């Protein structure tokens, strides 16, 4: 039986954290490729991106495998078609500038940027482009296959309005408000730096979040005279605003810049790499994770697209009031279109329906092949830079197609299928 009274902690990191700088650059490149495909009339289904970024003191390295529109290529001195690095360097500089890095050790103007992208492996491409998918009756049909093997998880619960676990939801919210205040250029918050981390401990009673018992925040600042007390004076109003829907305990322990001065930050203080904040990106440890990162990948990579689909389905299960908590696992094999298995866990919170019924209903309401996911959620768009910080889940679906997996538009259809109506 699940515990009902306990404390749980999750952390978040800001857009200026070294790893998040790399996630942002990688996702800006995904967006660049999709945008260029649309602009030049290239079929967006044909592009491929698997882009990793490394950042350290005034240095950025972009590497990976791609299949690009011709407009992002050039002819070298030997007459060979090669990737044109200039557009990718510009995308990286714009991202660094938008985040706010103009410090001696990491500056959007002066950082050296190396672009080491190359063409996607033909061996991988053949499995993704034309997968021989064997259906339950044993017949073959050609379909777009999964870009890799793997397991992906989706999760939803009733702890917050966006059906996310409370600790990660509020940890993100704190840093979002601080970033907005910093970028406004007004007041003392303008002296905060881009690099920051938050951590929230929430006490649960009867399985529901009731109060915050510990708050940890470390944030970069540009004024070298600031000590921990001064930083707390500046940031506490924003923390309390972020937590206004969840009480702060009277004896809450506050740890604000506990090591003291934090002036040197970002990639100058610590190297960054794409894909190292996968728990921050998802559910803050409140749900399982399959291990695959999201940023820098086009949506043939089921690490990304199927994780979005799993969240979408879990959120619709909870929105349909079929359960108060829902975890969904989806498993794939490289080059095979349809998932090998679907697993649902309602954690004993189901309302008149069992896991097996929902597993069957899921296959009825949504095609979970990479093609089906990309079509259903309309993923072949330049919508990914916004996902690179403050979580891929628990965000508002936008009119531009961003966070389409946060919609609850199939809740009633899923409910009808699960209940056999």
Q: What tens digit of pLDDT does each residue of 303-343 get?
A: 999 999 999 999 999 999 999 999 999 999 988 999 999 99
Euclidean distance between CA atoms 119 and 189, whole angstroms: 44
pLDDT in tens, 18-75: 999 999 999 999 999 999 999 999 998 889 999 999 999 999 999 999 998 888 887 8
The residues near 84 (Cβ < 8 Å, ≥ 6 apart) are 72, 73, 74
Tell me which residue has tokens 């899921």. 362
Q: In terms of pLDDT, which residue wins out, 390 or 134? A: 390
- pLDDT above 90: residue 179: yes
What digits encode the pLDDT tens for the residues 90-99?
999 999 999 9
Pairwise pLDDT comparison (137 vs 370), residue with the higher score? 370
pLDDT of residue 420: 85
Q: What percent of the chain has pLDDT over 90?
A: 83
Report the alpha-carbon distance of residue 265 to residue 197 in Å, rounded: 11
Annotated active-site positions, please? Answer: 17, 19-20, 52, 65, 197, 262, 270-271, 276-277, 297, 301, 303
CATH class of 150-158+274-418: alpha beta
Mean pLDDT highest for which of 124-128, 135-139, 183-187, 210-214? 210-214
Mean pLDDT value across residues 340-353: 96
- Rounded to an integer, the average pLDDT of 192-206 is 98
Q: Which CATH architecture has domain 18-132?
A: 2-Layer Sandwich (3.30)
**What is the chain's mean pLDDT, rounded?**
92
- Residue ranges of domains in the chain: 6-13+167-268, 18-132, 150-158+274-418
With bands split at pLDDT 50, 70 and 90, how would you rate the model's confidence at 290?
very high
The predicted pLDDT at position 342 comes to 98
| Paired strand residues for 18 | none
Residue of higher predicted confidence among 267 and 79: 267
Helix (H) or strand (E) holding 16: none
Is the predicted pLDDT of residue 402 greater than 90, yes or no? yes
How many whole angstroms separate alpha carbon 89 and alpha carbon 37? Answer: 18
What is the pLDDT confidence band of residue 152, given thresholds at 50, 70 and 90? very high
The DSSP element (H or E) to which 140 belongs, if any, is strand 140-143
Judge whether 341 and 146 are in contact, CB under 8 Å: no
* Mean pLDDT calculated for residue range 265-289: 97
Q: Which of 240, 195, 224 is closest to 100 using CA atoms?
A: 195
1: confidence class by pLDDT, cuts 50, 70, 90 = low
Give the residue, 121 or 173, on which the prediction is more confident. Answer: 173
Q: What is the CATH number of domain 6-13+167-268?
A: 3.30.300.10
CA 315 to chain centre: 16
Q: Which residue has the tokens 């510009």?
A: 90
* 139 has pLDDT over 60: no
pLDDT above 90 for 269: yes
Tell me what pLDDT residue 137 has. Answer: 38
pLDDT at 126: 53
Largest CA distance in the chain: 71
Give CA–CA dist 142/131, Å, rounded: 6
pLDDT of 132 above 60? no
Q: How many residues does the chain have?
A: 421
């Amino acid at each position: 039986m699940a515990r009902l009274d306990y404390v749980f902690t999750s952390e978040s990191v800001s857009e200026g954290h070294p790893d998040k700088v790399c996630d942002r650059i990688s996702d800006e490149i995904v967006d660049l490729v999709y945008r260029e495909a649309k602009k030049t009339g290239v079929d967006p289904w044909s592009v491929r991106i698997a882009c990793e970024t490394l950042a350290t003191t005034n240095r950025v390295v972009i590497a990976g495998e791609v299949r690009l529109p011709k407009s992002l290529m050039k002819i070298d001195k030997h007459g060979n078609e090669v990737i044109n690095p200039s557009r990718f360097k510009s995308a990286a500089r714009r991202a660094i500038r938008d985040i706010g890095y103009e410090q001696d050790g990491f500056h959007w103007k002066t950082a050296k940027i190396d672009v080491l992208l190359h063409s996607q492996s033909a061996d991988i491409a053949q499995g993704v482009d034309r997968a021989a998918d064997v259906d339950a009756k044993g017949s073959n049909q050609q379909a777009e296959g999964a870009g890799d093997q793997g397991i992906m998880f989706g999760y939803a619960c009733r702890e917050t309005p966006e059906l996310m676990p409370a600790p990660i939801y509020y940890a993100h919210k704190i840093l979002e408000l601080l970033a907005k205040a910093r970028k406004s250029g007004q007041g003392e918050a303008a002296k905060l730096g881009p690099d920051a981390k938050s951590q929230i401990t929430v006490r649960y009673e009867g399985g529901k979040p009731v109060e915050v018992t510990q708050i940890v925040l470390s944030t970069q600042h540009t004024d070298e005279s600031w000590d921990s007390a001064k930083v707390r004076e500046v940031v506490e109003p924003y923390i309390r605003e972020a937590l206004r829907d969840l009480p702060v305990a009277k004896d809450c322990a506050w740890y604000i810049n506990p090591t003291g001065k934090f002036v040197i930050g970002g990639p100058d203080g610590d190297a960054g790499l794409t894909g190292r904040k996968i728990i921050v990106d998802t559910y803050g440890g409140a749900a399982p994770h399959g291990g695959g990162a999201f940023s820098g990948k086009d949506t043939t990579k089921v690490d990304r697209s199927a994780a979005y689909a799993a969240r979408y389905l879990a959120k619709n299960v909870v929105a349909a009031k079929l359960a108060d908590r829902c975890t969904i696992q989806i498993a794939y094999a490289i080059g095979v279109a349809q998932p090998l298995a679907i697993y649902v866990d309602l954690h004993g919170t189901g309302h008149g329906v069992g896991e097996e019924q929902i597993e069957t209903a899921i296959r009825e309401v949504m095609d979970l092949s990479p093609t089906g996911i990309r079509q259903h959620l309309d993923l072949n768009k330049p919508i990914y830079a916004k996902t690179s910080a403050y979580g891929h889940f628990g965000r508002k679906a936008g009119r531009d197609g961003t966070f389409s997996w946060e919609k609850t538009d199939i809740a009633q259809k899923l409910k009808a299928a699960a209940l056999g109506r």
